[in-house]
Amino acid sequence: MFKQALRGGVHPSGFKELSNQEAIKRFPLPDTLYLSLQQHLGAPATPLVKVGDRVRKGQLVAASQGMISAPVHAPTSGRVTALAEHTAPHPSGLPVLVISLEPDGLDEWDDIEPVSDPFARDPQEICTRVGAAGIVGLGGATFPAAVKLGSSLETGVETLILNGGECEPYLTCDDRLMREKADEIIRGACLMQHAVQAKEVIIGIEDNKPEALEKMQAAAAGSGIQVKSVPSRYPMGSEKQLVQQLTGIELPARSRAAASGLVMHNVATARAVAQTIDQGRPLISRIVTLSGQALTHQGNWEVPLGTLASQLINYASGFDCKPARLIMGGPMMGIQLPNLHVPIIKGSSGILALTEEEINPTQPSPCVRCARCVQACPMGLLPLEMAANIRKGDVEAAQELGLSDCVGCGACSYTCPASLPLVHLFNYAKGELANREKEARKMKKTQVLAQRREERVARQAREREELLAARRAAAAKKAAEEAAEDNPS
Ligand code: SF4
Ligand code: SF4
């Protein structure tokens, strides 16, 4: 293990024991599933079904479009009852297009095809199958896994890292998965290693998960895969922190892990890869942690995608008291939900219902310049200075201070004694900069189109002029020839 000092980080209370005690349970099929066409980073999927269609379990119901996108498959057999907008699992609460599917109770599989002898196959074939199965980063990032695998294969990587950190408080879905499905994760890791042709695989697990560590080390025995314990410190699950802890490599600012010969995937993503290659099963369900002290029962559930958060809570728990905050994901980087009428998507690692006491709301007060946020930042940024500039409306100055390196981990906000909403300011400013860039690109495109139009109009005028001149010359020539014929000398 590399002993060099890690930058930043905080130690929030874990609350892991609330949900990590019991085995994963399977959630039964609800009356209706709401399959969002935007369950991943990138372009939304395009629906391939219409209202009234009967679909089978695992059938492709929406195709990926563009370079960065992922297809969507039916989690069970049934009938499509609607193709309409529905509340999105997003803080804005803005609607997204969803396919409503009414299960028929038969749970009848579509024709699915496992890959035989996968290690004898071309690595690109594994990447293609992973893409066709709609697998995305299940740690919450939801970046299409095949795109990451494919580009790693193309550029070449030495090391595949599997992230079993799960450093967010409350979340225990990866912990339980590693305890219960370690063999499948290791199998997925071997398949991913083949897909990217990596020389080595290292799995990092925080030391607050001893049972998971033990199970994973036992499953990896003899495979050549290294399973290592890393200190529990938020955000240990971030790429930069985990890579440094496991390999000693400090990823430079604004560079991608691939540039240092590394690629990182989540442990649950590896399991999904194994299920796809060995069983032909696309990504149609995921493990969701249900936690928070506003709930009667906490735990982990394997949930069909498209299940509403309200259906899951009503079945699995119910409320002990009125929740003060609802979150999809973890409390540090998750998104606050407008209500529970939102569907579980591929990135839904958890549904948290937190009490007033757990969120401990305090009014922000002026910055006391204690620099705790600077010490906490894993990216070596100056959160107080960036925030001061953003509050003045100078997002460019925040950008110069490294705003784009901010990973949005919230360690600065967590540690701030003035309760300043630092990470919210950074997310707002990043959105503002992205909008400006989009506007600038749009303006540039408009300028290019206008310039092309001007050039086209000028060219057409020139061509018209040349044509007229040619016609005039031909007419003059003909007239001269006729005059010559009329007056032979
Ligand atoms: S932690 Fe909060 S109070 Fe302290 S310097 Fe940073 S922004 Fe100011
Ligand atoms: S949210 Fe950004 S600025 Fe704050 S600690 Fe994390 S990386 Fe640093």
* Whether residue 292 sits in one domain with residue 376: no
Which of 299, 323, 342 delimits the end of a domain? 299
Residue 87 within a domain: no
Chain centroid, CA 215 distance in Å = 27
Listed range (206-215, 266-275, 478-487) with the worst mean pLDDT: 478-487
> Which bound ligand lies closest to the C-alpha atom of 7?
2
Is 31 inside any structural domain? no
* 346 CB within 6 A, ligand 1: no
* Global pTM value: 0.87
The C-alpha atoms of residue 387 and residue 396 are separated, in whole angstroms, by 12
Ligand 1 atom closest to Cα of residue 387: 7
Q: At what angle do helices 145-155 and 182-196 cross, to 10 degrees?
A: 40
Residues 128 and 226 in one domain: yes
Residue-wise pLDDT tens digits, 434-461: 888 888 999 999 999 999 999 999 999 9
CA 341 – CA 310 distance, rounded (Å)? 6
In a domain, 144, yes or no: yes
- Residue 64 in domain: no
User: What is the reported pLDDT for 67?
Assistant: 85
Residue 95 lies in a domain: no
Judgement on whether residues 153 and 272 belong to the same structural domain of the protein: yes
Domain stops at, among 255, 273, 299:
299
Ligand 1 site, residue 258, Cβ cutoff 6 A: no
Give domain status of residue 174, yes or no.
Answer: yes
What pLDDT is recorded for position 95?
85
Q: Does any ligand 1 atom lie closer than 6 A to the CB of residue 368?
A: yes
Lateral strand order in the sheet of 262-266: 226-230, 200-206, 159-164, 262-266
d(CA 400, ligand 1 centre) in Å: 19
> Which are the contacts of 255, defined by CB distance < 8 A and separation ≥ 6?
none
- Residue pLDDT, tens place only, 261-281: 999 999 999 999 999 999 999
Pair (169, 281) in one structural domain: yes
Query: Are 282 and 386 found together in one domain?
Result: no
Of 273, 299, 325, which residue is a domain's last? 299
Instruction: Say yes or no: 281 and 138 in one domain.
Output: yes
Whether the bond into 378 is cis, omega within 30 of 0: no
- Tell me the residue range of the domain where 376 lies: 372-432
* For ligand 1, atom 3: residue with the closest CA: 367
Same domain for 386 and 287, yes or no, is no
Give residue 94's identity as a one-letter amino acid code: L
Residues 152 and 260 in one domain: yes
CATH of the domain at 254: 3.40.50.11540
Asked if residue 81 is part of any domain, the answer here is no
Task: Classify residue 177 by burial, with Cβ atoms within 10 Å: 0-12, 13-18, 19+.
Answer: buried
| Residue among 217, 170, 236, 162 nearest 14 (CA) | 170
Pair 153, 238 in one domain: yes
- In this structure, are 293 and 386 located in the same domain? no
| For ligand 2, mutation pick of 367, 377, 424, 425 (most atoms within 8 Å of CB) | 377
Q: Are residues 265 and 386 in the same domain?
A: no
Does the pLDDT of residue 22 top 80, yes or no? yes
The answer to whether residue 447 sits within a structural domain is no
Are the beta carbons of 9 and 415 closer than 8 angstroms? Answer: no
Q: How many domains does the chain have?
A: 2
